[in-house]
Amino acid sequence: MTEEIKKIINKLSPIERKIVPYLDVSIEEIKEKTGIDQITLIRALNFLENKGVLTTKKITKKIIDLGTNGIFYKKNHLPERNLLITLEKLRNPKIEELKKEAKISDNEFKVSLGVLKNKGLIEIKNGRIFINVSKEKITNKMEEEKLLELIPILEGKIIKEYGEALNNLKKRKEIIEIKEDNQITFEITLLGEELLKKNINEDLIEEITPEIIKNWKNNKKFRHYEIKTNAPTIHGGKKHFVNQAIEYGRKVWLELGFKEMSGPIIQTGFWNFDALFTAQDHPVREMQDTFFIKNVISKLPDTKLVAKVKKAHETGVGESKGWQYSWKEEDAKKVVLRTHTTCLSARTLSSLKPKDLPAKFFSIGKCFRNETVDWSHGFEFYQTEGIVVDKDATFLDLLGYLKEFYKKMGFDKIRFTPSYFPYTEPSVEISVYHPEKKIWLEVGGAGIFRPEMVIPLFGEYIPVLAWGQGFDRIIMDYYAIKDLREMYKNNLTALRNKKAWMRT
């Protein structure tokens, strides 16, 4: 016996020892002879492959199987057959009469009518339906019916005459589905053939137990363990990487001394727009930008607050002249999916008392906008919002908070450029430098809330530092995601390989 074979025999696990004598038969026969289940057997074969005893090969075959509707139709006829049976009982019925008698759904009726017409079995004249062929031809099975009887079947075994029938059934809902069947085969190597000839029934010790120690015999041997072998990867449960990123962002704001704001994703136009001094004729309040909840009207908050917001819009507050138009309660009562988390800042400001100051708040939440979905846009996205309410707050403080947040999120180079936003003045745009692409990426906007927004909500003007940052872009950069849609695809392999969120 060669040294290599001796080493292999000493490393064989009990399961491997059980299947080695049957390596000259198929996998199905091994299962039958040993009683080992499929998963355990495949794992043992992989371990034997690592030892050089055999080589495995995976063969993927496509199988045409029945969907939910297919199972039902195979047992109870296709809807077009049921329609024909009903049509035979009636004499040239009107379409509505046939539809009522057939007892099939509207969709099935329309599809069946089209199928029978295309096959030349029926004819429609003056709103009535006529059978166009002999009774003998009607009783003949259609190709689709013959195909259903053959299923399940390997895709390659569908003969040409059923090609058109297969395409027809594929177009219809849940009649057939294509499944992949992965089959494992193996071939014994020369080393494996030599191993088959050896006696491998030696009783080796797998683990030390008190019983073994009490009854120790010098002739007992331990099984050798192969610690370098490739074991199957075990994927433990973990949070989605987007949720990990949100938790990290939340941790950063909390460490900076902020309290978290929260609120519903469904908001009134009042909180989403009016309280933020967004004019009622602003384009952002149109259907093409905002998701409105159909046929829902909500109540407005405290009447005094509504009156103050109305005044800010119509004639202004402080030194402002407002928007100089007639403000309508009807528009403010409309209900929307929030387009930003700034509505939470407005609600928080309205609830603060002078004794609560100074105060710092943040939120990380989902927002919705009526966007065309592409690689860089989605109709839902995460935003991180923040406000600092302090009589002594300055614009430089705002830049300092933002710089600190982005440094903690892993961006060393941050750039600020002047900008314009409806409810902040002065306003600034934040960009971070991407070292690999060597470009500046815009990540959000910030500024100091305008008096027209603060005075109605708080009763007096106090500087409020505010920002709203796109959180998805930060996540995309960290995970090198090029297409926004990848963040929400349920690709298990990709999700398992995503590293935990950790910035240094």
Q: Which residue has the higher pLDDT, 374 or 117?
A: 117
- Domains of the chain in sequence order: 3-53+189-222 (no CATH), 243-497 (3.30.930.10)
> Phi and psi (nearest 5°) for 104?
-125, 165
pLDDT at 223: 77
pLDDT at 266: 93
pLDDT level of residue 253 (50, 70, 90 thresholds): very high
Q: How far is CA 348 from the centre of its chain?
A: 32
pLDDT at 219: 67
- Other residues' Cβ atoms within 10 Å of the Cβ of residue 81: 19
**346 vs 351, 352, 359, 384, CA distance in Å?**
9, 10, 14, 15
Look at strands 221-222 and 204-205 and give their pairing.
parallel
Stretch (H or E) spanning 333: helix 329-333
pLDDT at 499: 78
DSSP category for residue 116 = H
**Interval 249-266 mean pLDDT:** 92
**Interval 449-470 mean pLDDT:** 91
CB-CB contact of 363 with 341 (8 Å): yes
CB-CB contact of 460 with 282 (8 Å): no
pLDDT at 283: 84
Look at strands 266-268 and 464-470 and give their pairing.
unpaired
SS3 annotation, 145-160: HHHHHHCCEEHHHCCH
Minimum mean pLDDT range among 163-167, 201-205, 303-307, 396-400: 201-205
Minimum mean pLDDT range among 31-45, 56-70, 94-108, 485-499: 485-499
pLDDT at 502: 66
Residue 464 to residue 341: CA distance in whole angstroms: 16
Q: Which residue has the higher pLDDT, 153 or 466?
A: 466
pLDDT at 158: 77
Which DSSP string do the residues of 8-58 spell out, in sequence order? HHHH--HHHHHHGGGTTS-HHHHHHHH---HHHHHHHHHHHHHTTSEEEEE
pLDDT at 415: 92
pTM confidence score: 0.59
CB-CB contact of 280 with 325 (8 Å): yes
- pLDDT of 503 above 60: no
pLDDT at 261: 92
The residue whose two tokens read 């040294």 is 3
- Give the helix, strand, coil percentages of the chain, each rounded to 5: 45, 20, 35
Beta bridge partners of 364: 384
Stretch (H or E) spanning 383: strand 380-389
- Other residues' Cβ atoms within 10 Å of the Cβ of residue 241: 20
- pLDDT of 1 above 60: no
Q: Which residues contact 94 (CB under 8 A, 6 or more apart)?
A: 127, 128, 129
- pLDDT of 234 above 80: no
Structure tokens at 158: 């569908």
> Phi and psi (nearest 5°) for 460?
-155, 165
Give the pLDDT confidence of 397-451 residue by residue, as tens digits. Answer: 999 999 999 888 888 889 999 998 888 999 999 988 877 778 888 888 999 999 9
pLDDT level of residue 259 (50, 70, 90 thresholds): very high
> Phi and psi (nearest 5°) for 179?
-110, 150
- pLDDT of 12 above 60: yes
> Phi and psi (nearest 5°) for 146?
-65, -40
Look at strands 221-222 and 259-260 and give their pairing.
unpaired
Phi and psi based region of residue 128 (left: phi greater than 0; alpha: psi -120 to 50; beta: remaining): beta
Residue 112 to residue 78: CA distance in whole angstroms: 9
pLDDT at 218: 62
DSSP category for residue 283 = G
